[in-house]
Structure 1
Amino acid sequence: MGCDGGTIPKRHELVKGPKKVEQVDKNAALIARWNYCAISQRPLRKPIVACELGRLYNKDVVIEYLLDTSPEKCIIETAAHIKNLKDVKELNLTDNPAWKGDKVNTKGDKYEDLQGAAFICPVVGLEMNGRQKFCYLRDCGCVFSERAMKEIKTEVCHKCGKPFKEDDVIILNGNKEEIADLQRKMEERKLKAKLLKKAKKSKAIESCVKSARTEANALSSSSSSTSTTGGKAEKPGKPVSGIAK
């Protein structure tokens, strides 16, 4: 039995299979992570900050996000772990002299070069466009390519000369495994800082109590000495010689 036009339908035309899952354009996702703020999705502009999970944000957007204390505040998943400005670090980036983004032509149309990068590695000159791994140092905020960190191994920053440890290296826009590792390290650092703060507080309280006890003992000793001296009985005087009894 055919259709209205006398044609015989095929099986794939009658039987509908499962819908195809829409695949995310990897290139578009890559461009978004390296060129747009993780909170506002607006283009990244200096000053740029990064969290301990390696995500990039505009600093003014982070400040606005933290200042919003209204009940209607929308909690952004990519910034849920940011509680104050100490949870992010302002990046010390190296400008790319060859970058021509935000170029305005003679017609007044705006052109933004998303294939290039506004910043480069100051050591090997690689562009920070996501095709190469980049990282920043947690203490100073200087940004380098992973290739530079591996090729020129050192314990001081290549840019500012500040010493750092291996745990201070934060991968920017890492994969799932790298983000999970960074989250583990972040939680360990926060727990260590919390315990250290608690220990310092306990030590300070102990010192205050010890000082108060010392002062109390000193006052008690002084009061006891004064009381003993004031209540001492006078000795009877000797009889005067030559006076008849």
Structure 2
Amino acid sequence: MGCDGGTIPKRHELVKGPKKVEKVDKNAALAARWKYCALSTEKLCRPIVSCDLGRLYNKDAVIEYLLDKSAERPNSEVVSHLRGIKDIKELNLTDNPAWEGEMRNTKGDRYEDMNCAMFICPVVGLEMNGKHRFCYLQTCGCVFSDRALKEVKTEICHKCGDPFRDEDVVVLNGTKEEVEKLREVMEEKRAKAKALKKPKKSKVVETASKPSDSKEYPDPTDTVPAGGNISTQNGGDGSQTVPGPIGSSSSSKVVKPLAASGSKRSIQTMEEKSEIYKSLFTSHSSAKRTKDQTSNWVTHTPYHF
């Protein structure tokens, strides 16, 4: 069948062999990681931020994701570890003076160098194109090549002078093993931050539950440090002054003890009080009137006449 007109088919046209595995261009893979946002897949433009895992994002894309996490995005799993704006750090990058921009070869008559990058290391001068290992500091956000941090060992930033530790160095676009290590470090930091927040909350609850140490009313047995006359009340019937020590100041401190729990004690039942003293109050029998002694007031109106 077929072969009309004297055509002779070849072997690869008749026999189907295994499909060849497509190889990814290394330059294209590096450009996708170092020149494009990991979330929106758009070209990186200032301000550029990075997370604890060392991925590069456009700040606008991350803010849009944090404002609406329910929206469907193609690369949402890349930023699933981001909880808020505090989980990202804005990078302090150094521009490459040899960078002419993306529109330098619009006519197609010039050689386009794929290894030329927008940013470089401010210490060594290496271009941030993916062929060299780059890191950033979580304290200040400055970006350096790994060679610069190894050759010029210091405890302060080469660019801004802020102090940093080895734990603050995060590798940008690292390998799978490096990303796993960074993820473990990130989880440890978050666990420590949670542990520190719990005791703070418990302290606030304890201070709120404890009563105030200051007494609303002082104890009648308390001593007066300045010395003087102390007046005490017995059921509101009067006050008695207790003279202070000789040579003390004339100022007196009034002490009002708390009312005893239960029914109040009547003055008329106090045996230590005299009858003359009890007659000063309306609860005494002499102050009470009978019905005959009480007068019936009648108002006079002119309508009766």
Change in CA separation of 1:220 and 1:155 when aligned onto 2, cut-off 3 Å: same
Shift of 1:70: 4.3
Change in CA separation of 1:235 and 1:190 when aligned onto 2, cut-off 3 Å: same
Tell me the number of residue pairs that the alignment of Structure 1 and Structure 2 aligns.
231
Task: Give runs of aligned pairs for residues 93-172 of structure 1, distance below 5 A.
Answer: 93-104=93-104, 114-172=114-172
TM (norm. structure 2) is 0.65
Change in CA separation of 1:6 and 1:91 when aligned onto 2, cut-off 3 Å: closer
Query: Which of 215, 218, 222 matches 2:215?
Result: 218
For 2:40 and 2:9, the matched residues in 1 are separated by 54
* Percent identical: 58
Shift of 1:9: 7.2
Q: Letter of the aligned partner of 1:116 in structure 2?
A: C
For 1:180 and 1:200, the matched residues in 2 are separated by 31
Q: Secondary structure at the match of 1:214?
A: coil
RMSD: 3.5
For 1:175 and 1:17, the matched residues in 2 are separated by 34
Q: Secondary structure at the match of 1:57?
A: strand
Task: Give runs of aligned pairs for residues 1-245 of structure 1, distance below 5 A.
Answer: 4=3, 16-70=16-70, 72=72, 76-104=76-104, 114-210=114-210, 213-214=211-212, 218-219=215-216, 225-227=257-259, 235-236=272-273
For 1:218 and 1:112, the matched residues in 2 are separated by 83
For 2:85 and 2:64, the matched residues in 1 are separated by 11
Identify which range, 66-75 or 155-164, moves more after superposition: 66-75
Q: Which has the greater radius of gyration?
A: 2
If asked which structure has higher relative contact order (CA below 8 Å, sep 6+), I would say 1
Change in CA separation of 1:69 and 1:234 when aligned onto 2, cut-off 3 Å: farther
Shift of 1:113: 5.9
Shift of 1:13: 6.8
For 1:112 and 1:137, the matched residues in 2 are separated by 32
For 2:195 and 2:118, the matched residues in 1 are separated by 41
Measured against aligned partners, the alpha-carbon deviations of 1:150-183 in whole angstroms (never above 9, x if no partner) come to: 1111121111111111111000000111111111
TM (norm. structure 1) is 0.80
Which structure shows the bigger proportion of residues in helix conformation? 1
Q: Secondary structure at the match of 2:258?
A: helix
Q: Secondary structure at the match of 1:160?
A: coil
Measured against aligned partners, the alpha-carbon deviations of 1:100-148 in whole angstroms (never above 9, x if no partner) come to: 11345797x9x98642111111111111111110000012101100001
Q: Letter of the aligned partner of 2:212 in structure 1?
A: T
For 2:179 and 2:149, the matched residues in 1 are separated by 19
